[in-house]
C-alpha cells in the first residue's frame, strides 16, 4: 500500500468531517498581545532546569509562533534529564507539546495534513519524517531524518524556543505541524504516546490473527499498556486480560476496558501465572498478546500465555533493556507463534491517533485520567523527579492559568 501526504490530507479531512458532524471549536484569536520575551525551561546541567527568558523571535514567512498550553513528560525527557545520552545540554526539552497559534508567517496556509491553519488554532508538532508517512522516525539508516521536526530534542540555537517546556515555541517552516483544534488539552498532550499504540496495533493487524472476538492479553499496565487496552476497545475487541504487579494499575486497566486482570505478584512461577491467564479467559490461552513492559523476563514469560498459532506484538523495549531468554523450540516453532516488533509510529499513525482519541472519549474511556500529575513551568524540575520516581502515570507540564 502506498499513501502520500495528499492522501493523508484527504483521509484526515474525511475522518474529521465524519466524526464531527459539526464545526470545530470556536477560535479565540489571541494574537493581540504577544509579550516581548518568552520563558524556556532550559536543562543547563544534569538534573537541573533553569527558567531562562529570551527575546520573542521574529516570525519568518514560513514560521508559526505557538503559545504553549502543555506538554507531556516522556521517558526520553527523563533519560536526557538524568544522563544526557544525546549530549544536548543546554537543551529545551519537551516534545509531547501543544498550544495555540498566536502568529504565522504569510506563506503558512495549511498544516501537514492539508487542513487550514489560522491564528487561534490549537496545534501539535510531530517528531517524524515528512517525506514518507509509512516509516518510523528514528530509522536513521533508511531515510533522511527531518531534524528540524524534533522539537524538544534539538541542540540550543540563537532562537532558543525549540522545545515545548517553554511558554512559547517557534515552529519553523517545513516542520510537521497538525491542526488539532477539535481536541481538548489533555487529549492533545496524550497524542504522542497514543500514536505509539496505534502503530503497535497496526503492526499486530499485519499478523492477520487479531479479530473482533480474539482473546487478547496485555502485559504491563503503565501508560503504554493502558492505552493499548483503550485502542483495542475502540476497535471493538472485548475479551482483554491485563497483567501487572500493581493492583492500582490493574484497577485502572479495568476502567480502560480490560475484562479481567491478573496480578503476577499472586502467582509463583511462570506456569502458575500462565494458568491464571488461562483461567481469566475461561480456560483458554490468548489468541494474541501485547508485551508492554521493558522487562526481559516479561518478554520470556508472555509466550506461555499464547495459544498454538497465536500472535505476539512486542513493544516494550523502546530502549535496550537487555537480553531475554526464550526456548525457540517450545516458545516459537512448535507453537507456530507469529511475532511482530513495534517501535515509535509513522506519520499516518499520527493522523489516525486524533480520530482514536475522539472515539475513545465517545465510548467513555477515561483516557484523560492518564494524566495524574500537572506542573507549572516553574516546577518542571519536580515534574521530572516525579517521572523518574515512577509515581503516577503520565506527568505533564501545563500552563499555570490552565492548571
Ligand atoms: Zn515521547
How does pLDDT run across 174-210, given as a tens digit for each residue? 888 999 999 999 999 999 999 999 999 999 999 999 9
- Cis ω before 90 (30° cut-off from 0): yes
Compute, in angstroms, the gap from residue 77 CA to the centroid of ligand 1.
Answer: 8
- Own/partner long-range contacts of 8-14 (Cβ < 8 Å, ≥24 apart): 8/112, 8/113, 8/114, 8/133, 8/347, 8/348, 8/351, 9/110, 9/113, 9/114, 9/115, 10/114, 11/351, 12/113, 12/114, 12/115, 12/351, 12/354, 12/355, 13/113, 13/114, 13/115
Same-domain check for residues 27 and 169: yes
Question: Mean pLDDT, to the nearest integer, of 126-138?
Answer: 61
For ligand 1, the distance from its centroid to the CA atom of residue 388, given in whole angstroms, is 14
Helix (H) / strand (E) containing 252:
helix 247-255
Q: Are the C-beta atoms of residues 117 and 123 closer than 8 Å to each other?
A: yes
Q: How sure is the predictor about 135, in pLDDT bands with cuts at 50, 70 and 90?
A: low
* Contact in structure between 108 and 202 (CB atoms under 8 Å): no
Q: How far apart are CA 45 and CA 82, in angstroms?
A: 9
13 and 51 within one domain: yes
pLDDT digits (tens, 9 = 90+) for 340-354: 999 888 888 888 999
Does position 234 have pLDDT exceeding 80, yes or no? Answer: yes
Gap between the Cα atoms of 257 and 248, Å rounded = 15
Greatest C-alpha distance within the chain: 67
Ligand 1 centroid, distance to 75 Cα (angstroms) = 7
**Arithmetic mean of pLDDT, 83-107:** 94
- What is d(CA 156, CA 133) in angstroms, rounded to the nearest whole number? 28
Q: Give 281 Cα–ligand 1 centroid separation in angstroms.
A: 33
Q: Are residues 336 and 373 in the same domain?
A: no
Whole-angstrom CA distances from 97 to 117, 284, 345 are 17, 42, 17
Give the distance (Å) from ligand 1 centre to CA of residue 214.
30
Phi, psi (5° rounding) for residue 287?
Answer: -75, -35
Q: How far is the CA of 267 from the centre of ligand 1 (A)?
A: 33
Residue 106 sits in the same domain as residue 237: no
Cβ pair 312, 337 in contact under 8 A? yes
- 361 lies in a domain? no
Same domain, 121 and 206: no
Residue spans of beta strands (DSSP E) within 182-246: 215-219, 239-244
Q: What is the distance in A from the centroid of ligand 1 to the CA of 284?
A: 36
Mean pLDDT of 76-94: 92
What is the CATH classification number for the domain harbouring 236?
Answer: 3.40.50.720
> How far, in Å, is the centroid of ligand 1 from the Cα of 3?
25
Tell me, yes or no, whether 12 and 146 share the same domain.
yes
Q: How many angstroms separate the alpha carbon of residue 95 from the centre of ligand 1?
A: 6
For residue 180, the CA-to-ligand 1 centroid distance in Å is 18
Query: 295 in a domain, yes or no?
Result: yes
For residue 69, the SS3 value is strand
Distance 76 CA to ligand 1 centre (A): 6
Residue 277: all three cell numbers together? 491467564
Q: How far is the CA of 317 from the centre of ligand 1 (A)?
A: 14
Same domain membership, residue 260 and residue 124: no
- Enumerate the H helices of 259-346 as residue ranges: 270-280, 296-302
Assigned domain for 188 exists: no
Say if CB 271 and CB 295 are below 8 A apart.
no
Spell out the residues 6+ positions from residue 379 whose beta carbon is closer than 8 angstroms to its own.
none
Please give the Cα distance from 322 to 104 (Å, whole number). 46
CA nearest 224: which of 381, 71, 74? 74
Q: Residue 370 Cα, ligand 1 centroid: separation in angstroms?
A: 15
pLDDT > 90 in the chain, percent: 76
Sign of CA dihedral 121, 201, 214, 258: negative
Do 146 and 273 reside in the same domain of the chain?
no
- The alpha carbon of 232 and the centre of ligand 1 are apart by a number of angstroms equal to 21
Alpha carbons 37 and 42: distance in angstroms, whole number: 15
The CA 233 to ligand 1 mean position distance, Å, reads: 23
Nearest CA to 200 among 55, 102, 315?
315
pTM (2 d.p.): 0.86
From the CA of 32, how far away is ligand 1's center (Å)?
32
pLDDT-based confidence at residue 25 (cuts at 50, 70, 90) = very low
CA of 226 to the centre of ligand 1 (A): 16
Judge whether 358 lies within some domain: no
Q: From the CA of 106, how far away is ligand 1's center (Å)?
A: 31
Residue 395 shares a structural domain with residue 373: yes
Residue 260 confidence (pLDDT) above 60: yes
357 within some domain: no
What spacing in Å lies between the alpha carbon of 393 and ligand 1's midpoint?
A: 14
- d(C-alpha 314, C-alpha 220), whole Å: 11
Looking at the fold, whether 272 and 318 belong to one and the same domain comes out as: yes
Cβ atoms of 233 and 259 within 8 Å: the answer is no
CA of 339 to the centre of ligand 1 (A): 25
Please, which residues have CB within 8 angstroms of residue 334's CB and are 6 or more apart in sequence? 308
Residues 6+ apart with CB under 8 A from 402: 69, 70, 185
Which structural domain, as residue segments, surrounds residue 54? 5-181+366-402
CA of 73 from ligand 1 middle (Å) equals 7
Please compute the mean of the pLDDT values over residues 103-117 and round it to a whole number: 94
Judge if 138 and 30 occupy the same domain: yes
Question: Does residue 177 lie in a domain region?
Answer: yes
Q: How far is the CA of 35 from the centre of ligand 1 (A)?
A: 29
Is 322 inside any structural domain?
A: yes
Alpha carbon of 152 to ligand 1 centroid (Å): 10
Query: Is residue 299, in this structure, part of any structural domain at all?
Result: yes
Q: Do 176 and 57 share a structural domain?
A: yes
Q: What pLDDT is recorded for position 342?
A: 94
- Three-state secondary-structure class, residue 55: strand
Q: Which residue, 307, 341, 375, sits at the end of a domain?
A: 341
- Whether the pLDDT of residue 172 is over 70: the answer is yes
CATH code at 151? Answer: 3.90.180.10
What's the 206 CA to ligand 1 centre distance in angstroms?
24
CA 383 to ligand 1 centroid distance, Å: 15
| Structural domains of the chain, count | 2
Q: How far is the CA of 192 from the centre of ligand 1 (A)?
A: 6
Count of all residues that appear for the chain in the document: 403
Compute the distance from residue 332 Cα to the ligand 1 centre, in Å.
31
Query: Nine-digit cell at 275?
Result: 494458568
Amino acid at each position: 500500500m502506498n499513501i502520500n501526504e495528499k492522501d493523508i490530507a484527504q483521509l484526515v479531512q474525511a475522518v474529521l468531517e465524519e466524526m464531527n458532524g459539526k464545526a470545530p471549536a470556536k477560535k479565540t484569536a489571541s494574537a493581540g498581545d504577544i509579550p516581548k520575551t518568552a520563558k524556556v525551561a532550559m536543562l543547563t546541567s544534569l538534573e537541573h532546569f533553569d527558567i531562562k527568558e529570551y527575546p520573542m523571535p521574529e516570525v519568518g514567512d514560513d514560521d508559526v509562533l505557538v503559545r504553549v498550553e502543555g506538554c507531556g513528560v516522556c521517558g526520553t525527557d527523563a533519560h536526557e534529564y538524568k544522563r544526557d545520552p544525546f549530549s544536548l545540554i543546554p537543551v529545551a526539552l519537551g516534545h509531547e507539546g501543544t498550544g495555540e497559534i498566536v502568529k504565522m508567517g504569510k506563506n503558512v496556509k495549511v498544516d501537514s495534513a492539508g487542513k487550514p491553519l489560522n491564528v487561534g488554532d490549537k496545534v501539535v508538532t510531530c517528531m517524524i519524517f515528512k517525506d514518507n508517512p509509512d516509516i518510523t522516525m528514528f530509522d536513521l539508516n533508511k531515510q533522511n531524518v527531518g531534524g528540524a521536526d524534533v522539537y524538544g530534542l534539538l541542540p540550543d540555537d540563537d532562537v532558543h524556543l525549540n522545545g515545548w517546556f517553554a511558554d512559547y515555541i517557534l515552529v519553523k517552516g517545513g516542520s510537521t505541524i497538525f491542526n488539532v483544534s477539535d481536541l481538548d488539552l489533555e487529549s492533545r498532550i496524550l497524542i504522542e504516546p497514543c500514536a505509539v499504540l496505534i502503530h503497535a496495533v497496526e503492526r499486530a493487524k499485519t499478523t492477520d490473527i487479531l479479530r473482533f472476538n480474539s482473546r487478547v492479553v496485555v502485559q504491563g499496565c503503565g501508560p503504554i499498556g493502558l492505552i493499548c487496552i483503550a485502542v483495542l476497545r475502540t476497535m471493538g475487541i472485548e475479551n482483554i486480560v491485563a497483567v501487572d504487579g500493581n493492583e492500582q494499575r490493574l484497577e485502572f486497566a479495568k476502567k480502560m476496558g480490560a475484562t479481567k486482570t491478573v496480578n503476577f505478584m499472586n502467582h509463583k512461577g511462570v506456569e502458575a501465572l500462565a494458568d491464571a491467564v488461562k483461567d481469566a479467559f475461561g480456560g483458554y490461552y490468548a489468541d494474541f498478546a501485547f508485551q508492554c513492559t521493558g522487562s526481559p523476563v516479561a518478554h520470556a514469560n508472555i509466550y506461555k500465555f499464547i495459544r498454538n498459532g497465536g500472535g505476539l506484538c512486542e513493544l516494550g523495549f523502546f530502549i535496550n533493556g537487555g537480553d531475554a531468554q526464550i526456548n525457540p523450540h517450545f516458545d516459537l516453532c512448535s507453537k507456530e507463534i507469529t511475532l511482530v516488533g513495534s517501535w515509535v509510529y509513522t506519520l499516518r499513525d499520527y493522523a489516525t491517533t486524533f480520530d482514536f482519541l475522539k472515539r475513545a472519549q465517545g465510548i467513555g474511556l477515561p483516557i484523560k485520567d492518564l494524566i495524574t500529575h500537572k506542573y507549572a513551568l516553574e516546577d518542571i524540575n519536580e515534574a521530572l523527579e516525579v517521572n523518574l520516581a515512577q509515581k503516577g502515570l503520565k506527568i505533564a507540564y501545563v500552563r499555570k492559568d490552565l492548571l
